[in-house]
Amino acid sequence: TKVAVLISGTGTNLQALIEQTKKPSSSAEIVVVISNRPGVLGLKRASMAGIQTRVVDHKLYGSRAEFDSTIDHVLAEFGVEVVCLAGFMRILTGSFVRKWNGKLLNIHPSLLPSFKGVNAQKQALLAGARVSGCTVHFVAEEVDAGAIIVQEPVPVLMNDTEESLSARILEAEHQAFPAALELVASGVVRLGEDGQQQNLWHV
Ligand code: GRF
């Protein structure tokens, strides 16, 4: 399965996906990495792995629709079948999400549906949560609300700061995203007609 990874920065999730898809057992091949920001470390990670990169700078587009359309053309150019949003900090338009329904994965640093939106790690701390974690889900039109594919729990420690909890959750992300990509790329998990994730073993 041909995969595109969309990034906005450091790309530690991208790195985890690169390591996973290098394995001979992987059902996925990353064919392009697209960043909405130039010069970020994630682009270097892709280049070092021999993966083609593109920058689609959102500041150069007059509308979200034009930005998304340009992204979509790059995806078509590379014959992409599955898209992973890995630390990608843009909200995609409804028409893009609908077109890629069931083929668009995102990772969020909380156990959804808890703590949607930005600063999810800080929300968990402020709520006094004892357990948080990360979620890989299919992207739906409602932000952070799509069908869940994989979750990984992470303990919240008494002396945790936003930084220490974020770092612990990030480690979990690097396990969860590769696992979720394999499930979708191999066809074991897909989005059902009812908008719920469907496992082959449920059929
Ligand atoms: C991190 O905050 C991570 O929790 C979230 O995106 C941010 C950057 O991740 N998913 P990455 O290192 O660029 O993959």
Query: Which among 139, 58, 144 is positioned nearest to 100, based on CA atoms?
Result: 139
Helix (H) or strand (E) holding 149: strand 148-155
Atom number of ligand 1 nearest to Cα 13: 14
Pocket test for ligand 1, best of 17, 173, 181 (most atoms within 8 A of CB): 173
What is the predicted pLDDT for the residue at 198? 79
- pLDDT for residue 202 is more than 80: no
Across the beta sheet with 148-155, what order do the strands follow? 53-55, 29-35, 2-7, 82-85, 104-108, 131-138, 148-155
What is the predicted pLDDT for the residue at 167? 98
Q: What is the ipTM of this complex?
A: 0.96
- pLDDT for residue 203 is more than 60: no
Tell me if residue 108 is catalytic: yes
What is the predicted pLDDT for the residue at 173? 98
**pTM score:** 0.96
* Closest residue by CA, ligand 1 atom 8: 87
CA of 187 to the centre of ligand 1 (A): 26
Q: What would the pLDDT profile of 113-154 be if each residue is shown by its tens digit?
A: 999 999 999 999 999 999 999 999 999 999 999 999 999 999
